[in-house]
Amino acid sequence: MEQRVALITGGARGIGREIALTLAEKGWAIATCYRSSEADANSLLTLLKERGTTAMTVQADVSDPAAASSLVDKVQSEMGRIDALINSAGPYHRVPLMEETVDGWLSMFDNNLHPVFYLSKAVAPGMTERKWGRIVNFSMANADQQIGQPAITAHYIAKAGVLILTRSLAKILAPHNVTVNAISPGFIDSGSAPLEEMSRMIKNIPAGYVGSTSDAASVACFLLSDEARYVNGTNIHLSGAWGV
């Protein structure tokens, strides 16, 4: 069997980086993209190649539909295929809703929801032609509850939209042996927030501790495996029972 290829957005740091390293250990070829974290992307590329896997990294702003399409074309041209797409890019900012700007509002959708559509649409033809594919999207714990979120409203709505898009894509692509699932992290020590700040939230986490990027990578690897062939359209909470 040909070496499977994974494209990971937001792969230079945090959860995406851990998924890339874990998949490389399992024999996958890895393509990652980054917007501005060039040093992190290059260090990851070095680590991947040290593991003996085929790897590449591309600077791309996937909030731009043309750039997202170009990224997919480049990876497929250089690596021959894309078997798995992991949409792990997802920045957010915390701003009271009545103080949010129009640009800030739109940026949350441009960076969290729209790229999932652009990239999934671009990789789907190759997956359906080969009759095998995996798409994993990252939402957030409690996005399925649709509760009020006065400080991260746009980000929260975008992540709820990711769940709807995930289920819609799953129904469309399931006849072609392509699965589309979501992972919804709670508090994960990914480097995006100070560990001290997250540690203060431990009292709210039933499991009693903050999750790690390796926890996320383990779930992603399962969803990408042949063992998960009948898991489609689901949303896996990765939160130690927080937000459920």
User: What mean pLDDT, rounded, does the chain reach?
Assistant: 94
- What are the angstrom distances between the C-alpha of 189 and each of 78, 196, 219? 33, 10, 16
Determine the average pLDDT of the residues in 40-54.
Answer: 94
* Model pLDDT, residue 194: 65
> What is the DSSP track for 27-67?
T-EEEEEESS-HHHHHHHHHHHHHTT--EEEEE--TTSHHH
State which H helix or E strand residue 158 sits in. helix 153-173
Q: Are 190 and 175 in contact (CB under 8 A)?
A: no
State which H helix or E strand residue 219 sits in. helix 213-224
Q: pLDDT tens for residues 145-161?
A: 999 999 999 999 999 99
Neighbours of 14 (CB within 10 A): 21
Residue 92 among the catalytic residues: no
Determine the average pLDDT of the residues in 58-80.
Answer: 97
Q: pLDDT tens for residues 129-146?
A: 999 999 999 999 999 999
More confident residue, 202 or 222: 222
pLDDT of residue 1 exceeding 70: no
Q: What percent of the chain has pLDDT over 70?
A: 97
For the chain, the domains span 5-237
* Model pLDDT, residue 159: 97
Domain 5-237, what fold? Answer: Rossmann fold (3.40.50)
* Model pLDDT, residue 10: 87
* Model pLDDT, residue 193: 67
The one catalytic residue in 34, 92, 118, 156 is 156
Q: What percent of the chain has pLDDT over 90?
A: 85
Q: pLDDT tens for residues 165-221?
A: 999 999 999 999 999 999 999 989 887 666 676 777 888 999 999 999 999 999 999
Burial of 70: CB neighbours in 10 Å, binned 0-12, 13-18, 19+: middle
